[in-house]
Amino acid sequence: MRAYDIFVKPEMEGHFFNENWFYGAPDRAVHMEGRVSYTPNNLHRAGRDKLVGNKGKLDMFMGTCTPPNAEGMVSLSMGVVVEREMIDAARTVILEVNRNLPWTDGDTVIPISMVDHFVENDSLLVQVPQTEPSETEEQIGRHVAQYIEDGCTVQLGIGGMPTALADFISDRRHLGIHSELLVDGVYKLYESGAVDNSRKTLHPGKFVAVFAIGTQPLYDFMNASPDVLLMRGSYVNDPYVVAKNHKMISINTAIQVDVMGQVCSQSIGTRHFSGTGGQLDTHRGAQMSEGGRGIIALRSTAKNGTISTIVPTLAPGSGVTVPSQDVDTIVTEFGSAELRGLSVRNRMEALIRIAHPDFRESIREESHRLGIVPDKRYF
């Protein structure tokens, strides 16, 4: 997304300090300058935990909204990750009114009486098109698609892989959406006839999400649609709420997975990259769902094929996004590894089978040498 000048202009250093739940490019750009710090969280608790850390105090909330309707209500429009908790706690609430924002229903709708000040600014909406999938992402999408059958409820992320997956499941029918994020790929599935939300066991007939990122066709579809509900993150991403959707399939990505099944999706060693976000929430919730599954999909290599993303141990200092005891299914372009309930030895073998062939033997040998999966040759 677009950076705010207050976070990236050198002359603003000392005036503002950014604490963020999830890093984007602007945060990464100034991280090593000490001008931003990551706040560890799971999305469904992010707002509540932040207020606990602040002793329940918040001086000001600044956000954006649609113009008010005839009933004196405004819509926060593009999402309510933690906005409602922050608005409820803030001493002063300032909202920027933008006529270009789509009206969305759900927890986004608040009365103007909750707002202290309005400022008008009709800036154009940020357009974030889905990236075209690579050949590798298409291969991954094909493997993920085998787990999605008619009537499943799906959680999708952003990037080339969800776009590829949409192509492979466009022939499914009666899919539902319960997702942290609405993206163009979801709208594409709706247009293909794959998604109608008719068999959802929670909020049937509705797209349920926390926020949206996409392009104008998605925003136009969302605008005043009775079929779209944007609900606060503390609800949508609560694992027990996620689990109320039968046949819930959560699909996320990662940076590294080690042979124990630990998943890192937020850092490259000690260098922070993104965040936990809602990954652990939906991964856990999907496994609690009747007939559900949590999927982590990633390329088998990084840096132009020079390093493996399936590793004996995570890089030193890496954040663990999904612990080994919570992991379910890992997918690469070489297939899938269903790890739930497996021993570390069997997990290692399953993950080696979906690692890039160039690294399979070295993963096994290093796992033996380190004693993760002991081999008497080394001890």
**Digit-coded pLDDT (tens) for 110-122:** 999 999 999 999 9
Contact indicator for 259, 373 with CB cutoff of 8 Å: yes
Contact indicator for 248, 152 with CB cutoff of 8 Å: yes
Number of other CB atoms surrounding residue 373 within 10 Å: 19
> Is the pLDDT assigned to residue 77 strictly greater than 60?
yes
> Is the pLDDT assigned to residue 363 strictly greater than 50?
yes
Fold of 5-120: Glutaconate Coenzyme A-transferase (3.40.1080)
CA 79/CA 155 separation, integer angstroms: 16
Q: What separation in angstroms does the CA of 377 have from each of 191, 350, 365, 373?
A: 58, 22, 10, 12
Burial 257-267 (b: 16+ CB within 10 A, else e): bbbbbbbbbbb
> Is the pLDDT assigned to residue 358 strictly greater than 90?
yes
- At 39 the three-state DSSP class reads coil
What does pTM read for this prediction? 0.95
Q: Looking at the chain, which residues constitute the CATH 3.40.1080.20 domain(s)? A: 135-369
CA 286/CA 308 separation, integer angstroms: 27
Strand pairing class (73-75; 109-111): antiparallel
The number of helix segments (H) and strand segments (E) in the chain equals: 13, 23
Active-site positions read 180
What is the phi/psi pair of residue 325, to 5°? -75, -10
Average pLDDT estimate for 29-40: 90
Apex 356 CA angle, 353 and 357, nearest 5: 80
State residue 5's pLDDT score. 61
In tens, the pLDDT along 261-292 reads 999 999 999 999 999 999 999 999 999 999 99
> Is the pLDDT assigned to residue 160 strictly greater than 80?
no
- At 233 the three-state DSSP class reads helix
The tokens for 274 are 């993104």
Top-level class of domain 135-369: alpha beta
CA 312/CA 307 separation, integer angstroms: 12
**What residue has token string 């996004």?**
321
In tens, the pLDDT along 294-303 reads 999 999 999 9
3-state DSSP: the chain helix, strand, coil percent, rounded to 5? 30, 25, 45
Residues 6+ apart with CB under 8 A from 88: none
Average pLDDT estimate for 33-58: 91
Residue 352 binned pLDDT confidence (cut-offs 50, 70, 90): very high
CA 145/CA 57 separation, integer angstroms: 45
Percent of the chain whose pLDDT exceeds 90: 82
CA 304/CA 289 separation, integer angstroms: 37
Q: Looking at the chain, which residues constitute the CATH 3.40.1080.10 domain(s)? A: 5-120
Strand pairing class (248-253; 263-264): unpaired
What angle, rounded to 10 degrees, do the helices at 160-168 and 135-145 form? 50
State residue 324's pLDDT score. 98
Contact indicator for 80, 109 with CB cutoff of 8 Å: no
Average per-residue pLDDT for the chain: 94
In tens, the pLDDT along 231-254 reads 999 999 999 999 999 999 999 999
Average pLDDT estimate for 7-19: 82
Number of other CB atoms surrounding residue 146 within 10 Å: 12
Residue 356 binned pLDDT confidence (cut-offs 50, 70, 90): very high
> Is the pLDDT assigned to residue 147 strictly greater than 80?
yes
The DSSP bridge partners found for residue 264 are 256
Residue 4 binned pLDDT confidence (cut-offs 50, 70, 90): low
In tens, the pLDDT along 206-218 reads 999 999 999 999 9
Residue 2 binned pLDDT confidence (cut-offs 50, 70, 90): low
The tokens for 118 are 């309005």
Average pLDDT estimate for 127-144: 92
> Is the pLDDT assigned to residue 1 strictly greater than 60?
no
